[in-house]
């Protein structure tokens, strides 16, 4: 086995993972912060494993409400952060920045920012707080991409809230 | 007595080898490093358990550690495992290298999970798995034993299949049932195509074996699903023509490859079996076909499987397909006659036909093989 190939084969995944970590970190730290209220959508269980799963209240009518999801092509939308409106992905050609790009999934606008990892011991208090509509999420938005930066409960960091007796 | 010892005794008896030659062969085989597959199997199990345990630890949330410490630890460990693979080059250290390699690719998966956790990334599991496949492919080629390529190929195949089944359809809107019919139909053809393409690639044999392993099982799944649907809904269209196009296209490519690259004596049976599957299954899914016609198609496709495995020398799979044919015959008679007595009579008759065919085949198989070779040439 060629020694050079062995080195490349072993370094490639490490380099790729480091690159991915850096990209995610950069996306989170360099974007514009957008604070949006959240609420749970499944009254039975907000927690999927150790994820808190929520629905973001964008302050505009969800454009995906009427989509059946069965036979049509999946609609794409962008949420314009400043104008607080949804526009169709097809018509959006640099017409608003920053924007949060997403698609319709199960009758809701989804932008892959609808979940947050939490440690198990914080599950119960956070679950209750989100159900009581005390939750907000801070997104970092750059261009069309949004990543989750922080979860707030009653204006405080989730960790601070969870550790308060 | 080991299998080779039995063969050597037979060959000496038949005069193919002398006693001295047989002894030299036995001595040579005894000295060959066997690789001790049983030990390797347990070591692979242990390494897999460790890998899964690491992934579970990630999932349990290390809430008290800062994120840079978590990431730093993961990358340090990755580099350590990579070093373990690198220093254990050479045949004599094969087992150690395989363990390090297995742990390495598992830790790559765990690190993807860790990044997802730290940065709260959304997205589909299939995307994460496909990313893992892309970055670990070169590392998987370093394996000499076959377990790592098999693991990689299995994850790659099913990640691609689920991605295809759930993500591509925004291009071609189709009802959900049609999508899954399309996927089921195409998966065995896709596996077979990838296996054939990888056969000629350096260090591709392990991956090719893994992909070809899935071909019969996915084909059987598609066949049984089509059979059940045909039996349930005789006279009703099942799905759209467009949804079967990807599989049909794969089938045509495979037929071309078989026409050009297969062994002459095997070409016709393989192409015939493939044609039966490629055309017969959509026919069963789509046309208003009575249940009995669907049953006949199933039996023909299963028979093609028997012939294919027999030609490949895989007698156990050939026997398994024969068993499936027998079971399908029984179901056919229940479908046709609906009662035990008539079914019993029908089974006796068809059993007699099968025995007669086999006896005739035994008597004439050399002549038939010669004819097949002449036709192929």
Q: Which of A24-28, A112-116, B363-367 has the least mean pLDDT?
A: B363-367
Q: Judge: B86–A10 Cβ closer than 8 Å, yes or no.
A: yes
Q: Given the structure tokens 């070409």, which residue do they identify?
A: B267
> Mean pLDDT for each consecutive 10-residue tract of chain B (377 residues)?
75 88 85 66 78 69 76 93 90 84 93 90 85 94 82 91 73 66 88 87 78 91 81 56 82 88 75 87 70 79 87 84 83 66 70 78 74 63
Q: Report the C-alpha gap between A109 and A117 in whole angstroms.
A: 20
Angle at B122 between CA B64 and CA A31, to 5 degrees: 80
pLDDT in the model for residue B56: 72
What chain A residue is nearest to B108 in terms of C-alpha separation?
A13
Sheet holding A51-53, edge to edge: A47-48, A51-53, A115-117
Q: Which ipTM value was assigned to this complex?
A: 0.86
pLDDT in the model for residue A7: 93
Which of B315, B24, B15, B364 minimizes the C-alpha distance to B4?
B24
- A-B CB pairs within 8 A amount to 100
Q: Judge: A6–B89 Cβ closer than 8 Å, yes or no.
A: yes
Q: Judge: B138–A114 Cβ closer than 8 Å, yes or no.
A: no
DSSP state of A35: E
Number of H-type helices and E-type strands within chain A:
3, 12
Report which of residues A74 and A107 the model is more confident about: A107
Q: How confident is the model at residue A43 (pLDDT cuts 50, 70, 90)?
A: very low
Q: Judge: A13–B171 Cβ closer than 8 Å, yes or no.
A: no
Which of B247, B319, B316, B329 minimizes the C-alpha distance to B281?
B247
Residue B346, both tokens: 């029908």
pLDDT in the model for residue A85: 87
Contact A60, A86 (CB under 8 A): yes
Burial of B158 (0-12, 13-18, 19+ CB in 10 A): middle
Distance from CA of A61 to the nearest CA of B (A): 23
Residue B115 has its nearest CB partner, among A17, A70, A111, at A17
Q: Report the C-alpha gap between B308 and B267 in whole angstroms.
A: 10
Q: Report the C-alpha gap between B159 and B130 in whole angstroms.
A: 6
Where residue A115 falls (left for φ over 0; alpha for ψ -120 to 50; beta otherwise) is: beta
pLDDT in the model for residue B169: 57
Cβ burial A26-36 (10 Å sphere, 16+ → b, else e): ebbeebeebeb
Which of A109, A52, A108 minimizes the C-alpha distance to A99?
A109
pLDDT in the model for residue B307: 85
Within 166-185 of B, beta carbons closer than 8 Å to A belong to 169-171, 173-176
What chain A residue is nearest to B141 in terms of C-alpha separation?
A9
Using an 8 Å CB-CB cutoff, list chain A residues near B86: 6-7, 10
Three-class secondary structure of residue A55 per DSSP? strand
Using an 8 Å CB-CB cutoff, list chain A residues near B119: 24-25, 28, 147-148
DSSP state of A75: P
User: End-to-end alpha-carbon separation of chain B, Å?
Assistant: 42
What chain A residue is nearest to B134 in terms of C-alpha separation?
A13
Q: Report the C-alpha gap between B365 and A6 in whole angstroms.
A: 50
Q: Report the C-alpha gap between B303 and B325 in whole angstroms.
A: 7
Where residue B338 falls (left for φ over 0; alpha for ψ -120 to 50; beta otherwise) is: left
pLDDT in the model for residue B171: 55
Contact A44, A131 (CB under 8 A): no
The model carries a pTM of 0.77
Backbone angles phi, psi at A103, to 5 degrees: -140, 170
Kindly give the pairing relationship between strand A47-48 and strand A51-53: antiparallel
DSSP state of A31: S
Q: Judge: A12–B135 Cβ closer than 8 Å, yes or no.
A: yes
Residue B343, both tokens: 């079914």
Question: How far is C-alpha B176 from the geometric centre of its chain's CA atoms?
Answer: 25
pLDDT in the model for residue B338: 60
Distance from CA of B215 to the nearest CA of A (A): 28
Contact B132, B109 (CB under 8 A): yes
Contact A102, A76 (CB under 8 A): yes
Distance from CA of A79 to the nearest CA of B (A): 17
Residue B271, both tokens: 């192409």
């Amino acid at each position: 086995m060629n020694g050079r190939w062995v080195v490349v084969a072993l370094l490639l995944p490490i380099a790729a993972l480091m690159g991915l970590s850096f990209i995610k970190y950069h996306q989170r730290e360099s974007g514009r912060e957008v604070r949006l209220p959240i609420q749970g959508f499944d009254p039975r269980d907000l927690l999927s494993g150790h994820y808190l799963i929520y629905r973001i209240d964008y302050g505009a009518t969800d454009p995906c409400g009427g989509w059946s999801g069965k036979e049509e092509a999946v609609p794409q939308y962008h949420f314009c952060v400043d104008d607080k409106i949804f526009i169709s992905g097809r018509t959006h050609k640099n017409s608003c920045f920053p924007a949060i790009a997403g698609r319709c999934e199960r009758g809701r606008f989804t932008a892959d920012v609808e979940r947050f990892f939490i440690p198990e011991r914080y599950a119960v208090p956070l679950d209750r707080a989100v159900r009581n509509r005390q939750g907000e999420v801070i997104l970092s938005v750059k261009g069309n991409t949004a990543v989750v930066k922080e979860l707030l409960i009653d204006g405080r960091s989730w960790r601070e809230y969870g550790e308060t007796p | 007595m080991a299998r080779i010892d039995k063969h050597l005794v037979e060959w000496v008896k038949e005069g193919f080898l002398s006693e001295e030659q047989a002894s030299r062969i036995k001595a040579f085989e005894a000295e060959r490093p066997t690789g001790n597959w049983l030990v390797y199997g347990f070591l692979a199990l242990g390494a897999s358990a460790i890998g899964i345990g690491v992934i579970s630890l990630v999932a349990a949330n290390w809430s008290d550690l800062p994120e840079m410490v978590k990431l730093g630890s993961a990358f340090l460990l990755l580099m350590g495992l990579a070093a373990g693979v690198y220093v254990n080059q050479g045949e004599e250290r094969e087992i150690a290298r395989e363990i390090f390699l297995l742990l390495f690719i598992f830790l790559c998966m765990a690190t993807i999970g860790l990044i997802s956790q730290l940065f709260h990334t959304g997205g589909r599991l299939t995307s994460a798995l496909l990313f893992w496949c892309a970055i670990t492919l070169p590392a998987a080629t370093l394996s000499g034993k076959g377990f790592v390529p098999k693991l990689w190929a299995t994850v790659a195949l099913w990640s691609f299949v689920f991605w295809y089944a759930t993500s591509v359809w925004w291009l071609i809107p189709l009802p959900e049932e049609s999508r899954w019919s399309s996927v089921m139909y195409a998966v065995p053809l896709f596996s077979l195509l990838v296996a054939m393409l990888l056969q000629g690639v350096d260090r591709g044999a392990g991956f090719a074996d893994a992909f070809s392993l899935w071909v019969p099982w996915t084909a059987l799944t598609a066949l049984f699903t089509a059979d059940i649907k045909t039996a349930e809904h005789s006279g009703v269209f099942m799905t759209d023509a467009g949804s079967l196009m990807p599989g049909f296209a794969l089938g045509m490519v495979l037929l071309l490859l078989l026409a050009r690259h297969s062994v002459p004596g095997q070409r016709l049976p393989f192409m015939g079996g493939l044609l039966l599957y490629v055309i017969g299954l959509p026919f069963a899914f789509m046309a208003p076909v009575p249940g009995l016609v669907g049953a006949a198609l199933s039996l023909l496709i299963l028979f093609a499987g028997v012939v294919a495995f027999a030609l490949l020398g895989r007698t156990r799979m050939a026997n398994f397909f024969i068993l499936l044919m027998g079971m399908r015959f029984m179901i056919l008679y229940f479908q046709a006659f609906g009662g035990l007595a008539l079914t019993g009579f029908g089974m006796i008759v068809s059993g007699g036909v099968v025995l007669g065919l086999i006896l005739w085949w035994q008597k004439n198989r050399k002549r038939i093989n010669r004819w097949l070779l002449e036709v192929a040439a």
